[in-house]
Chain A
Amino acid sequence: MDRKRWLEKFAWTVVVEMNRQACLAGKVAHEPRADGHEKARSAWEAAMQQEQTFREAVELCRECHRLAPFAFFNGNTFAGIARVLGQQVSTEMGTTKALMFRNAVGHYVAGVIDAKEYDHICGRIMSDSK
């Protein structure tokens, strides 16, 4: 899969704003978490400058979810980013497989399937799409 700067449009301030709006919608306070914010910001900003495979970008989204830079709604913030980026990968898959692919991406970033399961599912979808 092509390497590119998947996250170049996603300045950390944009990610923070997206989480702020999620917190606003969820009627909870938007604030950084001392434990994870700096680690996630640093990893994210480094990755923004790098060409990555889609798999690597998804991995970063999952890692930032795990680090939990924000007090609330880390999961949908990072899963939402990865799922929409996944649309660019799944354009030629057909409706059902594209949906399965985006769901696999979302579930992986959410932390409900592990890397082995994710790679297996995506491998099957990709091989069936050829």
Chain B
Amino acid sequence: MGDLDPQRSIESDPLLKAVLIEILRIQPNFNAEPFFAMTGRGHMRSEGVLQLQELKRLAKQGGEGSDS
């Protein structure tokens, strides 16, 4: 795998392609600069809080059927 052109590897492998899509999808939540290395504390604009609040609200309304 390491000997292949990495761009081709990503394009031809569904897992690698999914990872690249995810990296680009979550990119707006991250600072470009390496703050974690500089400060020992990372930074991320969380998309999870609102999503989770909404999911919990929906779960309360409709029950937890999808989670069993």
Mutual binders A and B: yes
Known: A10-B16, A13-B2, A103-B48. A72 touches B32 (CB 8 A): yes
Least Cβ distance of B55 to chain A in Å?
5
From A14, A21, A103, contact of B9 by CB (8 A):
A14
Any B CB within 8 A of the CB of A127: no
CB-based contact A28/B15 at 8 Å: no
A60-89 with Cβ < 8 A to chain B: 65-68, 70-77, 79-81, 83-84
Chain A-chain B contacts (Cβ-Cβ < 8 Å), number: 145
Chain A residues, Cβ within 8 Å of B42: 65, 75, 110-112
CB-based contact B36/A65 at 8 Å: yes
Chain A residues, Cβ within 8 Å of B32: 26, 28, 72-73
Any B CB within 8 A of the CB of A56: no
Chain A residues, Cβ within 8 Å of B51: 99, 103
Which A positions have Cβ atoms within 8 angstroms of B? 8-14, 16-18, 21-22, 25-26, 28, 33, 35-36, 65-68, 70-77, 79-81, 83-84, 93-97, 99-100, 103, 106-107, 110-112
Given contacts A17-B6, A81-B19, A96-B55, 8 further A-B contacts (CB under 8 A): A8-B1, A14-B2, A26-B32, A28-B32, A76-B26, A95-B55, A97-B67, A110-B43
10 A-B residue contacts at CB 8 Å?
Answer: A9-B13, A9-B16, A22-B23, A25-B24, A70-B34, A83-B26, A94-B67, A95-B55, A107-B48, A112-B42
